[in-house]
Structure 1
């Protein structure tokens, strides 16, 4: 039996981590891989965001979607997932749904080479996308998949607690050394809520600091780096004394 929250190790496609009987892999492409079912999980692509900004008079270039879609197609070609699971905010809003983007979305299952499950996000709510049906949060193995952070349905069995995997928050971590500052997307685990936040996959996305969570895995220079806040380590030392 695997440990409940196993220490991460490099194996397969990325950095492996276990939750009860689930084995997950953090990928440097800001995606999550579930080897057992060959599922690829991503969140927050925010396609069409540049066009939404343009509609409000902000002159962003229109090729932002290419920087998001091309890495996704490359990743699907490499991993050959049986299912691509998108945890919400596939698009940024109705104003960004150009005819070109609608055609791309309709062809997305064919382009990725696999069926797509879309958990509807707050930005998807008023968007009708041909061929992609938005569905509510659901259970997959010992995982509870949602867009926004949710409490998984309670179980009568203590050992059957579900891990909530979600997007929405675009987690990032702030690193500092002297006057140097670095802000990196990350996977972040909240043990008190049994929740794993995954980073935004989209190129034109910001981020929300999650420094209060002491288990993080940074996405940096094409690799995954386990990280713990220095403040958290100091706090643990004080508690031990």
Structure 2
């Protein structure tokens, strides 16, 4: 689905990403690379295919939009380098020409040398690219920049016939701030309740729909 936000065209995809054509920029959040391996190390059985599935989806987005920049608004990694992160290293080698930019989130605890080895440009707090501010979590004060964030893994509940109740990840656009869905399929959902003027775009299996 293509929307207008602050005069800019943004494409919302079913793969939980935003493409900004004017900047040839693909925007995602909360990838949590290494989370499944982290759980397995703790004795919790999580399939090692989870991280590979996320990378396959990312590869498909690369082919579809051919962006110059991949921007991650936080929690790209889940704490430390592990087998899942090594899989990303292999993926990165096949997209060496791609500029990867990370706004650090609360789980991004890799060493500076690790980010450098992966060819990732890191911003500790935010990245300003008018009319947007890219930041991991919603700021407490607002200014002329419209904030695009992640962190909370937003979701909505849709009701069908026979009182069916289904939860879907979503894109949220409020007055001063947008929240991206978590890119990783291995995350929960924080169900948001709409307020006046808010826009929700649910990500269903087949398409993005405004609700």
Aligned to 1:224: 208
Given that residues 218 and 226 in structure 1 are in contact (C-alpha distance below 8 angstroms), is that contact kept between their aligned partners in structure 2? Answer: yes
- Give the match's secondary structure for 1:72: helix
TM-score, normalising length from structure 1?
0.77
Aligned 1:182-197 pairs, distance under 5 A = 182-191=166-175, 194-197=176-179
Deviation at 1:102, TM superposition (A): 3.2
Structure (1 or 2) with the larger CA radius of gyration: 1
CA distance in 1, matches of 2:93, 2:165: 40
Aligned to 2:152: 169
Aligned to 1:41: 27
The structure showing larger relative contact order (alpha-carbon pairs under 8 Å, at least 6 residues apart) is 2
Aligned to 1:179: 163
1:81–1:112 distance in 2 versus 1, CA, 3 Å: farther
Aligned 1:199-210 pairs, distance under 5 A = 199-210=181-192
Q: How many residues align?
A: 203
Deviation at 1:109, TM superposition (A): 6.2
- Give the match's secondary structure for 1:216: strand
1:37–1:179 distance in 2 versus 1, CA, 3 Å: same
TM-score, normalising length from structure 2?
0.87
Residues 39-89 of structure 1, C-alpha deviations (whole Å, 9 max, x = no match): 110011111111111122211111211110011011112211011101111
Aligned 1:82-93 pairs, distance under 5 A = 82-93=68-79
Structure 2 residue runs without a partner (length 5+): none
- Give the match's secondary structure for 1:36: helix
User: RMSD between aligned alpha carbons?
Assistant: 2.1
1:61–1:176 distance in 2 versus 1, CA, 3 Å: same
Aligned to 1:66: 52
CA distance in 2, matches of 1:181, 1:188: 20
Given that residues 100 and 121 in structure 2 are in contact (C-alpha distance below 8 angstroms), is that contact kept between their aligned partners in structure 1? Answer: no
- Give the match's secondary structure for 1:52: helix
Misfit runs of 4+, over 4 Å: none
Deviation at 1:199, TM superposition (A): 0.5
Aligned to 1:234: none
Given that residues 55 and 88 in structure 2 are in contact (C-alpha distance below 8 angstroms), is that contact kept between their aligned partners in structure 1? Answer: no
Deviation at 1:126, TM superposition (A): 4.5
Aligned to 1:16: 2
